[in-house]
Structure 1
Amino acid sequence: MKKLNLDLKAAGEKCLLQLNELDELRMEADGNSRLYKGCSKKWHDMHIQRREFKVGQKVLLYNSRLKLFPGKLRLRRSGPYTITQVFPHGEVEITHDNKGTFKVNGQRLKHYWSGNFSKEKSTVHLRPPE
């Protein structure tokens, strides 16, 4: 038993072999991580909604400060605002009658679709099953 434990050459080779195996496992884990990140980025990029804004359009602004005071029924968007200028790389200048003019990131904006909606209530009577 002492002869096996005192054989320094065999112990050194065994230790070197274990280090090489550990390096291979790390490299494989790194490759798997890169593959997963690449697939996740591709999926995320496919699901991004590209929005193009034009001067004069009406938009709603996402209010990120509401995250400090969470609530189910709290409105997340305010507006409508009017676009006055569109800059490259997604920056947009918007204006509001009461709040003035300021620049925001285009990702915080959402198109505002206005229309003449009827505010009258309508009733639908259903017949009971026969």
Structure 2
Amino acid sequence: MDWSATGHKRLLELNKMEEFRAHAYENAKLFKEKTKRWHDNRIMPRHFEPGQQVLLFNSRLNLFPSKLKSRWSGPFEVVQTNSHGAVSIKDLKTAITFKVNGQRLKHYWGAHVDRDKQSVDLRDV
């Protein structure tokens, strides 16, 4: 057994492992940057002005999953917009004001929709 040759071989293996780790770190960094650019390009810029009507996306609606139930609630009125993306909105029915993320809002262009449930008896038809 040649201890100096074995030691030299072990140092080369350690250097290879360190180089492999450095390449993996660099590849992970590049992958994160690329996916961040991809996701940032998918974010749609929305500009809201006070007085506009908006709809609010309800992402917590999965308690009672239903294909026909809308995930958008509203309309709400924009009270104030902040530079970092938060928007203060006011419920038109209860006049309660609260802040939400601007990415959860979209412009409301339609008229008022009556969302009261109605039952139709099909036996009479």
TM-score tier (shorter):
0.7 to 0.9
Structure 1 residue identity aligned to 2:100: V
User: Which residue number in structure 2 is paired with residue 109 of structure 1?
Assistant: 105
Residue 27 in 1 paired to residue 22 in 2? yes
User: Which residue number in structure 1 is paired with residue 68 of structure 2?
Assistant: 73
Tell me, in whole angstroms, the C-alpha distance in 1 between the residues paired with 2:65 and 2:2: 67
When normalised by structure 2's length, the TM-score is: 0.78
User: Which residue number in structure 1 is paired with residue 119 of structure 2?
Assistant: none
Q: Kindly, what percent of the aligned residue pairs are identical?
A: 52
Structure 1 residue identity aligned to 2:104: R
Shift in Å at residue 64 of structure 1?
Answer: 2.2
User: Higher helix proportion, which one?
Assistant: 1
When normalised by structure 1's length, the TM-score is: 0.76
1:55-74 equivalent positions in 2, closer than 5 A: 55-74=50-69
Which runs of 5 or more residues in structure 1 are unaligned? 1-5, 116-130
- How many residue pairs align between the two structures? 111
Residue 93 in 1 paired to residue 88 in 2? yes
Residue 54 in 1 paired to residue 58 in 2? no
Tell me, in whole angstroms, the C-alpha distance in 2 between the residues paired with 1:69 and 1:105: 24
2:77–2:92: 8 Å Cα contact kept in structure 1?
no
Structure 2 residue identity aligned to 1:30: Y
Aligned CA RMSD, in angstroms, stands at 1.9
Tell me, in whole angstroms, the C-alpha distance in 2 between the residues paired with 1:70 and 1:98: 25
Which runs of 5 or more residues in structure 2 are unaligned? 112-125
Tell me, in whole angstroms, the C-alpha distance in 2 between the residues paired with 1:56 and 1:107: 18
